[in-house]
Amino acid sequence: GENVEQHPSTLSVQEGDSAVIKCTYSDSASNYFPWYKQELGKGPQLIIDIRSNVGEKKDQRIAVTLNKTAKHFSLHITETQPEDSAVYFCAASMVAGGSNYKLTFGKGTLLTVNP
Partner 1 sequence: EAGVVQSPRYKIIEKKQPVAFWCNPISGHNTLYWYLQNLGQGPELLIRYENEEAVDDSQLPKDRFSAERLKGVDSTLKIQPAELGDSAVYLCASSLGRVSGGVSYNEQFFGPGTRLTVL
Q: Which of 80, 85, 89, 113 binds partner 1 (CB under 8 A)?
A: 89
CB-count burial class (<10 Å; 0-12, 13-18, 19+) for 4:
buried
The sign of the dihedral angle between the CA atoms of 56, 4, 35, 17 is negative
Residue 13 interacts with partner 1 (CB under 8 A): yes or no: no
Residue 115 interacts with partner 1 (CB under 8 A): yes or no: no
Closer to partner 1 by CB, 22 or 78: give it.
22
Q: Which of 14, 40, 41, 115 binds partner 1 (CB under 8 A)?
A: 41
Residue 44 interacts with partner 1 (CB under 8 A): yes or no: yes
Closer to partner 1 by CB, 97 or 115: give it.
97
Radius of gyration over alpha carbons of the chain, in Å? 14
Residue 105 interacts with partner 1 (CB under 8 A): yes or no: yes
Tell me which stretch binds partner 1 (CB under 8 A): 58-66, 67-75, 78-86, 103-111. 103-111
Residues 6+ apart with CB under 8 A from 97: none
Name the minimum Å distance from CB 42 to partner 1: 6
DSSP 41: T
